[in-house]
Structure 1
Amino acid sequence: MKLSTPILVKSPDLKLNYGSQFFNIGSCFANNLANKLSYFGFKTQQNPVGILFHPFAIEQFCKWLEAEAINLDLFVEQNKVWKSLQAHSVVQGETPEDLLFNLQKAVVETRNYLKTTDTIFITFGTAFVYHHLPTKKYVANCQKQHSSLFKKELIEIKALVEAMQQIIKTLSKFNQANIYISVSPVRHIKDGLVENNLSKANLLAAVHHVIENNTNVDYFPAYEIVMDELRDYRFYNRDLLHPNELAIDYVWEKFSIAFFEENALQLMHKVGKYRKLSAHRPLQENKATQLAHLAKINAFKQDLLAEEPHLQLDK
C-alpha cells in the first residue's frame, strides 16, 4: 500500500564529503540545514547578518560583499539599541558606529570564507518585500518600525530572476562553488494563505528559470518534500507553520543520502554518537566519575579527528 508521494532528490555529479566547505544563506530553513551540518562536524557558515527572507535582501548583502557602502540612512534606534533595516535584528550595536562595525566585520569575514567555499545553499522564503517609503529602499527587516513607513509589495517573477541572477553572479566570483537553491516550506501566514501560495509560486518559477540558465546551480526540493511527501500537520510545530524537528530530520536524511559520499555517511553516524556522549551527564556526580567521562569524550574526539582531520567538533 502506498502511503506517501516520495520526492526524488537528485544527487550531485560529485558527492560531498568532510573536505567540503558550506555556506548557507536565506530564510530560517537555511539555518535548519546549517545547524545539521554543524552538528555532524562539517565546516559551515550561516546567515552572517541573520535570517534574510527574500531575494532582494540577499541581493543587498551580496552588494555589500562587492564593496557597496552600507546605507546609514537605514539604521534605526529601538530601545537604546541600533539596528539596520537591511539586516536581521541579531546584528546590532549600542551606537550607529558599533552597528556599522559589526556589519562590516560580518561582510569581511564572509568574503574571506567564500574564497574557500565549494558548496552554497540558498533558501528563499517569500516574494513579498517591504518598501521603506522615506528612503525608497527595499528592506530585509522592518525592525518593529511604524507600519506607515512601509509599503508591502509582491515582486514579479522577472524582478526575482534578476535578483537571483545577481546573487549567483556575486557568490560565484569568490570561488567556483556549486550552488543549490531551495524554497522554504515555512508558510508566511501574515500575508494570508492564498497570498503565501502566490508568493511561493513566484519564487518557484523564478528559481527554475535561474537554474535552467546557470550550469553551477541546481535545486534541492525541501519545499516539495515537506508540502507533498510529508503533507501532514504532525510534521509541524504548534503554530502549524514551521516544520518541526521530525520534519527537519526527515529532510536532512533525504538530503544526506543524496548528497554525501558513503564514507561521509558512516563517519556522520560516529559523530552523532560523539555528540550524544558529549551531551550525556553521569548520574553519579563525584569528581572521579566526571573526570572518567570527560576522558572518554576526549578519547572519542581524538579518534574521530585522526580518522578525518577536517572535522569541526568544537562548535
Structure 2
Amino acid sequence: MVKLYTEVRVERRNDISITLSDRILMLGSCFSDEIGDKLLDAGFEVLCNPFGTLYNPASIASAIARLDASGTLFTAGDCVQIGAGDGRICSFEHHSSFAAPTQEAFLEKANGALLSSREFWRAANIVIITLGTSFIWKHDGKVVSNCLKRPAREFDRSMLTPDKTASLLNGIIDAHPDKKFIFTVSPIRHLGDGAHANTVSKASLHIALEQVLGTYPERTTYFPAYEILLDELRDYRFYATDLVHPRDVSVDIIWSRLKESLIPESEYRRLEANLKASAAARHIPHTEQ
C-alpha cells in the first residue's frame, strides 16, 4: 500500500510518564493551554500558565523565578498601562488577560494567582514546557513577556542563542531536582518577522533542547508536537483559518499521540471515564481517541 504521509515516531519512556496522581505545571505558548485543557478534562491535576501565555525561554525562566521567590509579591512598580488607548493596567510579566481597570484590581488579581500558584508549584513533580520562539523583547534592559501594545520604540528586540536558551533551561532543571521535565516546541508559527526568521527561531530552540536533553537524560524528555504537525500532518487542512494555529482536529491528534507516549496504559480506563464525564458536563458527544 502506498503511504501518503511519514509518521513521526513517538517512543514511550517508562521512567518519565504522567499519571493521575501527578501534579503538573505547564508553561509556554498558547499550545500549552490547548494540551492543558485536554489534561484537565482527563482528570489530571494541572496548573497551566499561571502568568498567562509565555512564548520565549527567558520569560518562562522569569516566571519560575517568581514562583520560587517566596514572600515576594507584585507591587505598584510592576504595573504598566496598556497602550493603544486601552488604558487598563497589567505588567510586563503577564499576559493581557490579567489586565484590570485599576492598579489595585490588577495587583489583587496578579498576587492572588501568584500565591495559589506557588503552593501548587512546590508540590508539582512534572513540568511541561512548550517553547514558542527564540525572539525576546526588552524594556529598560529587562525581558518582557508581553509588550502590552506599548510603542515599539520602547523595546529592544533580539534572538536568544541556543547556548543562552540551554543555559536558562539548565538553570531551571538544576534548581529543582525533585521535578521531571517534558519539553515541546510549539507548532504554532510566528510569522510576523517572516517565514525564514520563524524557521531560524524554531531551529535555535531545537538545538538548545538537544543540549538540555543530553545533559539531563534521566530527568528530561521531548515530545514532538512540532514534528507531528509540520512533518506528519503537513497540510493546511490541519490549520485554523488564520493558517498559523492548529485546528481542533490537529490538537486532538497530537493529544492522542501524547497519551500513547506519556500516559501509562493502566491509567486509560479512568482517563476515558473522566473524558466522558467532562464531555457530558459540556453536552458534547465524546469519541474515544
Give the partner amino acid of 2:131. Answer: F
Distance (whole Å) between structure 2 residues aligned to residue 136 and residue 257 of structure 1: 43
Identity %: 30
Partner of 1:160: 165
1:76 aligns with 2:77: no
Q: Which residue number in structure 2 is paired with residue 105 of structure 1?
A: 112
Q: CA shift at 1:111, angstroms?
A: 1.9
In the TM superposition, 1:132-171 aligns within 5 A as 132=139, 135-170=140-175
SS in 1 for 2:123: coil
Question: Which residue in the other structure is 2:21 paired with?
Answer: 19
1:243 corresponds in structure 2 to 246
Q: How far apart, in 1, do the equivalents of 2:169 and 2:55 lie?
A: 13
Report whether the alignment pairs 1:268 with 2:271.
Answer: yes
* Aligned CA distance change for structure 1 residues 193 and 110 (closer, same or farther; 3 Å): same
Q: What TM-score, normalized to structure 1?
A: 0.82
- What is the number of equivalent residue pairs in this alignment? 276
The range that moved more, 233-242 or 255-264, is 255-264
SS of aligned partner of 2:136: strand
> In structure 1, which of residues 258, 262, 267 is the aligned counterpart of residue 261 of structure 2?
258
CA RMSD across the alignment: 1.9
Query: How big is the shift at 1:73?
Result: 4.5
Return the offset for 1:60.
Answer: 1.1
> Matched residues in 2 for 1:168 and 1:262: separation?
28
Cα distance between partner residues in 2 of 1:108 and 1:212: 34
Asked if structure 2 preserves the Cα contact closer than 8 Å seen for 1:211 and 1:217, the reply is yes
CA distance in 2, matches of 1:130, 1:71: 22
- 1:61 maps to amino acid: A
CA distance in 2: counterparts of 1:58 and 1:74, whole angstroms: 17
Q: Which runs of 4+ in 1 moved over 4 A?
A: 68-74
Indicate if the aligned counterparts of 1:64 and 1:70 stay in contact, CA closer than 8 A: no
Aligned to 1:223: 226
Cα deviation, residue 41, structure 1: 1.5
Residues 53-87 of structure 1 show CA distances to partners (whole Å, capped at 9, x for unaligned) of 00111111122123266575552113342111121
Separation (CA, whole Å) in 1 of partners of 2:164 and 2:78:
22
Instruction: Tell me the amino acid that sits aligned with residue 257 of structure 1.
Output: E
Whether contact under 8 Å (2:23, 2:126) holds in the other structure is yes
Task: Report the Cα distance in structure 2 between the residues aligned to 1:202 and 1:70, rounded to whole angstroms.
Answer: 32
Q: Please give the TM-score of this superposition, normalised by the length of structure 2.
A: 0.89
Residue 77 and residue 162 in structure 1: after superposition, are their counterparts in 2 closer, same or farther (change >3 A)? same
Could you say what secondary structure the match of 1:7 adopts? coil
Cα distance in 2 for residues equivalent to 1:71 and 1:224: 41
Contact kept? 2:75, 2:107, Cα under 8 Å:
no
Gaps of 5+ in 1: 282-315
Unaligned runs of 5+ in 2: 285-289
Match of 2:204 among 202, 205, 209: 202
Which residue of structure 1 aligns with residue 287 of structure 2? none
**Aligned equivalent of 1:85:** 92
